[in-house]
Structure 1
Amino acid sequence: MPQTVAADFPWGDVWGQPEAVETLRSAASDPGALSHAWLITGPPGSGRSTLAYAFAAALIAEGPDDEATMRQVLAGTHPDITVLRTDKVIITIAEARALVERSYFAPSAGRYRVIVVEDADRMVERTSNVLLKALEEPPEQTVWILCAPSEADLLPTIRSRVRSLRLREPDVDDVARLIALRTGVDASVAEQAARHAQRHIGMAQRLATDEAARRRRDVTLRSVLRVRGVSDAVEVAGEIIQAATEDAKALTAERDAAERASLLRTVGIAEGQAVPPALRAQLSALEDEQKKRATRSLRDGIDRVLTDLQSLFRDVVMLQYGRTGDLINRELHAELSAVAEAWPLDRTLVVLDHLADTRESLERNVAPLLALESLLVTVASGRKL
């Protein structure tokens, strides 16, 4: 006798977004309410991709009891789901064209063909234009699901062709309870991780389970608070870049090695054996992709540091306004209070403005070390260079 499918399957892993789940559940079960292009937006860690995959599973399955199909979709092995995710800086035109071509295929087994684009904000204008016609006039049984932090991250022409669904930002206490449940860490560790991650679920889970990551964050923030001059700024900027580089290498090294070994195994080359000239182009192409992924990983790591610094100086502003109850970095209360008393409010605001500018500059390929040195000179002097 077949098992009964849980009522919340495949939505069970979508946490803290009941309104969004209800909207998509209804759309999946009612063709009259289904738009053929969706944009799911929300802050990092809010569960955009998880929701997109659950929606895809519900769309492709024959009904709420078709558990086998839904599990296949969630595992990424069903022929009617195509996913584009990138570890690189941008999504390329070639990747977008391949998606558009795929979108015109009829579903082979399920009710719909679903195209999921994670990190749709990583498309430059020319790449976005490749998608326009496909989004405007998709085949009757194709559904596009784009994911991005906000609507503003996409071109107006893209936004006008999709139905937007904005996810809510979870509370710190809610994230802490989820992290404690998932990882089994102490409630106080989970609360601190959720607070320091600013409610980003994935980052909170990493902080909760990685003592070294928690220690690196604390050292970085304390180092920035001790910057007093240009020499300090240069030294601390170098330390931040070195730590982010080592972290990025640790995250990508194992995957890079596995990919290289898999490629060599596929073409029949034993470990340690010389690569024939005819196959070097394939190996070179893989190495190029891995370098692009490493660049993205490094930038993401530096951006995470800048996000932490924004939380630091946001706390200083809160103290300058006399608010002490909702600090992100409570553990540094004494140090932050000293800065709040020593600095005028406008100096703190200049630093926060420069932090936002630095994050934008890094997205425009500005050299990370120079950008951080300039930022930390502003921290030391209160004046933007």
Structure 2
Amino acid sequence: MTRTDAPDAPRTGVWAEVVGQPDAVRTLYAAVRAAHRQVRGEPVPPGSMTHAWLFTGPPGSGRSIAARAFAAALECTDAESPGCGHCQACRTVLHGTHADVRVVVPEGLSISVAEMRTLVQAAARRPTTGQWRIVLIEDSDRLTEGAANALLKAVEEPPPRTVFLLCAPSDHPEDVSVTIRSRCRVVQLRTPLTSAIAEVLRERDGVEPELAQWAASVSGGHIGRARRLATDEEARERRETVLRIPLGLQRFADVFTAAAGLVKLAETEAAAANEERNEAEKEELRTAMGAGGTGKGTAAATRGANAALKELEKRQKSRATRSQRDALDLALVDLAGFYRDVLVTHAGADVPLNHPDFAGPIAKAAAQWTSESALRRLNAVLDCRVALTQNVKPIIAVEAMLAALQS
């Protein structure tokens, strides 16, 4: 299907969740319509629908949201407007309860080969209630080498009614192996415009226009971040704390105070994000294992419950580590944006600042530092982000970075 023959990008139903990506939505919608015709046994143009897709784009561009919308539209029972958002298939896919759609969200820092083999076995089965069996892997760049090899075998010889949806920051070999990428159709997402993010915050989340515009302007095009800033006062306070660091490093002793504070912020944010879920999982496990029961056999059941609880706590600890790293990385992105804004101010470039509400401190920093000094500080932040991906202990990586920022 040529671009001129492609249907217009819909903006209703599940597609309304895909913010600021009209080209991607147009491509996906055309593929969905072809898939529905294929299920009905009608002829479709070659290549209009394929069994493996790779969604790429910068953080916050909505990779997983686009993939979920695509999955919902594939299972949608409304043949005239697939992706209606109202039918049971659309609702269950979006809520993660559809029997034929398996969503893999890494709990820890990687996706293991054992988990992927189990997933591949499940993907080989025929759909039970839907039209397709769909496997959606968020953060597929976290696949271990063994897991990637296990997935490759399934992608090379896919069952006829199975679709694989992978999400990754880019299609670079460091994120997705060349062999897997070569078997996928790539959907590249872009950073959403500030106006598109602000519109969503106003219309869908009911955020006041002024707050919505501010949150969109300082989010760096990250939709989820914009929503948190617009709806969570503590998130706004954490951001301000981070952005006060560059001009707050007056003495070397400030390095250790700021490092401890930054790591603590990440730990607090991770704990807040996981606390309710952790307790719910533990309570559900206790109930399933017969907690509080009496009578014959309860001792053995209790031992089994304790073992299962320890395994759950192990998974939760791994998830907490990942959440902490992600929260810390988000803070580093804010810091990098500050130094980028200093460089922009030095150059006198007519481009928007990442942190327009910190224009005063940014101008002050630009007056104090040379462009070379600001660039060196920016590189220190980027080096810290790399160190964290290599499993350097957070406090050590952050202290090394802040020492470079203070000097």
Q: Note whether the superposition's TM-score is higher than 0.5.
A: yes
Unaligned runs of at least 5 residues, structure 1: 1-5
- Which amino acid in structure 1 is aligned with residue 196 of structure 2? D
After superposition, residues 66-77 of structure 1 pair within 5 angstroms as 67-77=87-97
Q: Which moved more, 1:319-328 or 1:110-119?
A: 319-328
Distance in 2 of aligned mates of 1:142 and 1:280 = 38
Of 180, 191, 197, 1:158 maps to: 180
The answer to whether the 8 Å contact 2:19/2:196 transfers is no
* Pairs aligned (count): 375
The answer to whether the 8 Å contact 1:118/1:146 transfers is yes
1:3 corresponding residue in structure 2: none
- Which amino acid in structure 2 is aligned with residue 87 of structure 1? E
The answer to whether the 8 Å contact 1:120/1:148 transfers is yes
Q: Which moved more, 1:87-96 or 1:369-378?
A: 87-96
The question of 1:372 aligning with 2:372 is answered no
1:144 corresponding residue in structure 2: 164
1:50 corresponding residue in structure 2: 65
Of 353, 358, 362, 1:336 maps to: 362
Q: Deviations over 1:247-303 (max 9, x none)?
A: 2111111111111111111111139x9983332210100000000010011101100
CA deviation after TM superposition for structure 1 residue 38, in Å: 0.4
The question of 1:36 aligning with 2:58 is answered no
The question of 1:295 aligning with 2:299 is answered no
The answer to whether the 8 Å contact 2:20/2:193 transfers is no
The question of 1:123 aligning with 2:143 is answered yes
The answer to whether the 8 Å contact 2:242/2:334 transfers is no
2:283 corresponding residue in structure 1: 261
Pair 1:58–1:178, CA change in 2 (3 A): closer
Task: Classify the secondary structure of the residue corresponding to 1:11.
Answer: helix
The question of 1:17 aligning with 2:21 is answered yes
The answer to whether the 8 Å contact 2:286/2:305 transfers is no
Of 266, 272, 296, 1:244 maps to: 266
Distance in 2 of aligned mates of 1:270 and 1:228 = 57
Q: Deviations over 1:212-243 (max 9, x none)?
A: 21112112211332103321111101111112
Unaligned runs of at least 5 residues, structure 2: 1-9, 39-45
1:213 corresponding residue in structure 2: 235
- Which amino acid in structure 2 is aligned with residue 19 of structure 1? D
1:85 corresponding residue in structure 2: 105
After superposition, residues 296-375 of structure 1 pair within 5 angstroms as 296-323=322-349, 326-375=352-401
Q: Which moved more, 1:299-308 or 1:355-364?
A: 355-364
The question of 1:198 aligning with 2:202 is answered no
Distance in 2 of aligned mates of 1:317 and 1:242 = 29
Distance in 1 of aligned mates of 2:210 and 2:32 = 40
- Which amino acid in structure 2 is aligned with residue 286 of structure 1? L
Q: Which moved more, 1:255-264 or 1:321-330?
A: 321-330
Task: Classify the secondary structure of the residue corresponding to 2:13.
Answer: coil
Q: Cα RMSD (Å) of the superposition?
A: 2.1
Distance in 2 of aligned mates of 1:304 and 1:74 = 26
The question of 1:27 aligning with 2:31 is answered yes
1:189 corresponding residue in structure 2: 211
CA deviation after TM superposition for structure 1 residue 62, in Å: 5.0
CA deviation after TM superposition for structure 1 residue 324, in Å: 6.0
Task: Classify the secondary structure of the residue corresponding to 1:79.
Answer: coil
Distance in 2 of aligned mates of 1:325 and 1:103 = 47
TM-score, with normalisation over the residues of structure 1? 0.92
TM-score, with normalisation over the residues of structure 2? 0.87
The answer to whether the 8 Å contact 1:229/1:377 transfers is no
Of 249, 270, 284, 2:310 maps to: 284
1:229 corresponding residue in structure 2: 251
The answer to whether the 8 Å contact 2:19/2:62 transfers is yes
CA deviation after TM superposition for structure 1 residue 195, in Å: 2.1
- Which amino acid in structure 2 is aligned with residue 300 of structure 1? D
